[in-house]
Amino acid sequence: MIVLGVDIGGSAIKAAPVDTERGSLSGERYRLPTPQPAVPLAIARSLGEIMRHFNWTGAVGCGLPAAVHQGIVRTAANIDKSWIDVCASEFLGQATGSPITVLNDADAAGLAEMRFGQGVDRAGTVIIVTVGTGLGTALFRDGTLVPNTELGHLILNNQVAETYASGAVKTKLDLSFRDWAPRLDAYLRCLEELFWPDLLIIGGGICQEFDLISPFLTIKTETCPALLGNDAGIIGAALAAAQD
Ligand code: BGC
């Protein structure tokens, strides 16, 4: 089955048709900057543009950087606050005329990694951390997702963890890996002490540079980069739609 997967991030929207049986992109990625402010109507317009680009009228899976509880957007750290209380699938579905499945972006990346990436056949507690504009998390217990964990909002050094250790912080403060990776390590240590996971998977764009990060990791938990790299969010969003 081919489903259009869309990963709406705080800075960019990435999309591609996904072969949901193979867990791979079946066409080239299309990337747009996230409109600012990222209000529902502007995101709906971007989604419309993406669908036109792919000449797409079928099912769409969409990862949003927000807790999406029973279809309703509940948080909005890196998108416009006007998303809160919007039924995202209904709103985007009406705006585009296609069935749209919406879920948290990190949960989407996690679904893809568990099905086709580093999480395959991994029992116990697995946490996927997406490092980008924010810090996204997806928590799995014996392969089952506990949705909307929002652990990037844990308090670390008296501040919201993602404002201390995200990829955006690295860029904004122009930190080298030597200066920034210990921040990520402190965050991962916090997850370790709270959850004692069996595996931590680092996703988001930065996972391509995992070799520059790993020398600074002091945690005991097995930690690896996402196998699907930055495409995990697109692939997982499509998987979620294929299941709907
Ligand atoms: C949001 C999460 C999201 C993460 C990564 C956080 O700011 O609260 O919902 O998964 O960013 O995009």
Q: What is the spatial distance between Cα 58 and Cα 20, in angstroms, rounded to a whole number?
A: 14
**The predicted structure's pLDDT at residue 137:** 98
Q: How far is CA 170 from CA 59, 77, 163, 242, in A?
A: 36, 18, 10, 35
3-state SS track over the chain: CEEEEEEECCCEEEEEEEECCCCEECCCCEEEECCCCCCHHHHHHHHHHHHHHCCCCCCEEEEECCCEECCEECCCCCCCHHHCCCEHHHHHHHHHCCCEEEEEHHHHHHHHHHHHCCCCCCCCEEEEEEECCCEEEEEEECCEEECCCCHHHCEECCEECHHHHCHHHHHHCCCCHHHHHHHHHHHHHHHHHHHCCCEEEEECHHHHHHHHHHHHCCCCCCEEECCCHHHHHHHHHHHHHHHC
The CA 112 to ligand 1 mean position distance, Å, reads 17
Ligand 1 pocket: which of 104, 127, 160 to mutate (most atoms <8 Å of CB)? 104
For the Cβ of 107 lying below 6 angstroms from any atom of ligand 1, the answer is no
Q: What is the pLDDT of residue 180?
A: 98
Residues contacting residue 45 through CB under 8 Å, at least 6 positions apart: 35, 95
Atom from ligand 1 closest to the CA of residue 130: 5
Question: CA angle, corner 219, sides to 152 and 135, nearest 5?
Answer: 15
Atom of ligand 1 nearest to the CA of 77: 7
Chunked in runs of 10, what are the mean pLDDT values of the chain (244 residues)? Answer: 95 96 97 96 97 96 97 95 98 96 98 98 98 96 98 97 97 98 98 98 94 97 96 98 94
For ligand 1, is residue 106 a contact (CB within 6 Å)? yes
Q: Cα(106) to centroid of ligand 1, in Å? A: 7
- Pairing of β 60-64 and β 68-69: unpaired
Ligand 1 neighbour 78 (Cβ under 6 A): yes
Angle in degrees, CA 227, 191, 239, rounded to 5: 40
pLDDT of residue 10: 87
Q: What is the pLDDT of residue 121?
A: 97
The answer to whether the CB of 103 falls within 8 A of the CB of 119 is no
Q: What are the structural domains of the chain?
A: 2-107+232-243 (3.30.420.40), 122-226 (3.30.420.40)
Index of the ligand 1 atom closest to the CA of residue 162: 7
